[in-house]
Structure 1
Amino acid sequence: MVGGPTDPPGGSGKDDLINFDDPLYIHPSGNQKFRLWRSSISRALKARNNLDFVDDTFKRSEVDMSKQTKWDMANAVVCSWLLSSISDSIYQSQAYSEIAKYIWENIFETYNKYDGSVVFNIQKQINSLKQNDISLSNYFNKIDSLWKEFDGLTSLTECTCGASIKLKITLNLCNFIWS
């Protein structure tokens, strides 16, 4: 039985089963704030020419001491920006990380959870959205933000595992259900 009272905290160790009672389980629909945070922070880091620290394209020099010192200083600044932009509860788990890339990856691994139900619910919101009594500009902003979120969840920039095929099947099923 999945999620039963005999399952140990932290899951049963079976990757194919989801224990919804597990305190480490994060429901995918609760992560919209993560996606907004990631988009904003990525934009800010890119504007400061520091996105390379979190995507691992700018590595610390192993031979040049002056470059190591400069890298360490810039990395510390990026760590500070990341840590100052998260809630206290998340901060506590990341406060002792000294490399921006590891903070970024840990937060991504923990909070970038979603499944087909998230995509389905966004598509449902798009299909059922009506202007009704709201202004045209508010209606446009709402539908525009839903489409951008949908595009962000369904775009696969680099797929080598066949997930794009599964995603296309899921999206086709969603379109069939709502048409």
Structure 2
Amino acid sequence: MAENDDKLKPSGSMEGTTFDVNHSYYLHHSDQPGMMLVSQPLTPDNYNTWSRAMIGALKAKNKLSFVDGTFKKPERKVAAADLHQWDRCNSLVKTWLVNSISPELQSSVIYYDLAYQVWEDLKERFSQTNNMQLYHIESSIHDCVQGAITVSSYFTKLKALWDERDAAISLPDCDYNTLQHVLTFQQNQKAIKFLMGLNETFSAVKDQILLMDPLPPVNKVYSLVLRHEKQHNTTTGKTPVQEAAAFAARGPDSSKKGADMKCTRCNKDNHTSADCRAHLKCDYCGWKGHTIDYC
């Protein structure tokens, strides 16, 4: 019965030896030295995100033990086949690591014999988050606004910055209740920042959300704003982003209607000479009333 059970296990056969798929020595036929395990190579500025991606990829390949030091090189007194297989997998993992870092960094680790040595070297050099790195991340978060992009693109951009910051810092050790208060505070700060960066065309839904007590988590806030944007698109055929751009092109005072407003330049009603655009001509399309910046 045991012999039949062994036959049912998926396995890889190398050098005449069969390994279970859960064994660290197992290699799939697609596991080649030229593979790129992550899409973004390591640079001096992205270690936190790169290491997370690499850990996930190595776990999927069941090779994380070769870089975290838990699967050490067998002693020479063990079977030669075992030692040979370890060397084979170690060389493969080391090649994956080298392939996943930027070319200017490769020469600094290429002469290590062990994948573990490459991993520890990169960790020691780039894992320490410095104040300058945090400053740039926080500055990017502060300056991030919706502008001329959709709500979805704006939130994705902002969330990437939050994730990068959260990966660079660690929460203090504390009891469960205190930790929940800290996490709630973080969620509130993120929700408020997200609302602050939205265009003014979302002022109504922003006010509605800010009146909620307690304030919903940032993902829920994003969902509410996105629903508002979709409903607006359905009823008007225009996105709030398009309307905001059109309003900026017309000028802030052009929406004021009144019989007492008359332009002395073009002699037309509903605007003044300060807001008149009749004299403008687009160099791109040749039409009057706007410039090439708003064509």
- After TM superposition, the score normalised by the length of structure 1 is 0.63
Number of corresponding residues: 131
Report SS of the residue matched to 1:55: coil
In 1: Cα distance, 2:114 partner to 2:89 partner: 10
In 1: Cα distance, 2:84 partner to 2:145 partner: 56
Q: 1:48 aligns with which of 61, 72, 77?
A: 61
What corresponds to 1:36 in structure 2? Answer: 49
What corresponds to 1:148 in structure 2? Answer: 163
Q: Does 1:95 align with 2:110?
A: yes
From the superposition, tell whether residues 46 and 106 of structure 1 become closer, same or farther in structure 2 (CA, over 3 Å). same
Structure 2 residue ranges without an equivalent (≥5): 1-42, 174-188, 190-295
In 2: Cα distance, 1:37 partner to 1:126 partner: 20
From the superposition, tell whether residues 58 and 80 of structure 1 become closer, same or farther in structure 2 (CA, over 3 Å). same
2:51 corresponds to which letter in structure 1?
A: R
Report SS of the residue matched to 1:123: helix
In 2: Cα distance, 1:46 partner to 1:155 partner: 23
In 1: Cα distance, 2:72 partner to 2:172 partner: 23
In 1: Cα distance, 2:98 partner to 2:139 partner: 35
The higher-RCO structure (CA 8 Å, 6+ apart) is: 1
Structure 1 segments, 4+ long, off by >6 Å, are: none
Deviation at 1:156, TM superposition (A): 5.8
What corresponds to 1:125 in structure 2? Answer: 140
Deviations 1:77-117 (A, max 9, x none): 10111112223322222222110010111122223343123
1:32 corresponds to which letter in structure 2?
A: D
Alignment of 1:161-172 (within 5 A): none
In 2: Cα distance, 1:34 partner to 1:157 partner: 21
Deviations 1:45-104 (A, max 9, x none): 111011111111111222432332221111011011111222332222222211001011
Structure number with greater Rg is 2
1:99 corresponds to which letter in structure 2?
A: L
- After TM superposition, the score normalised by the length of structure 2 is 0.40
Structure 1 residue ranges without an equivalent (≥5): 1-29, 159-174
Alignment of 1:55-74 (within 5 A): 55-62=68-75, 63-65=77-79, 66-74=81-89
- Equivalent pairs: percent with the same residue? 33
In 1: Cα distance, 2:142 partner to 2:102 partner: 33
Instruction: Give the aligned CA root-mean-square deviation in angstroms.
Output: 2.6
From the superposition, tell whether residues 95 and 117 of structure 1 become closer, same or farther in structure 2 (CA, over 3 Å). closer
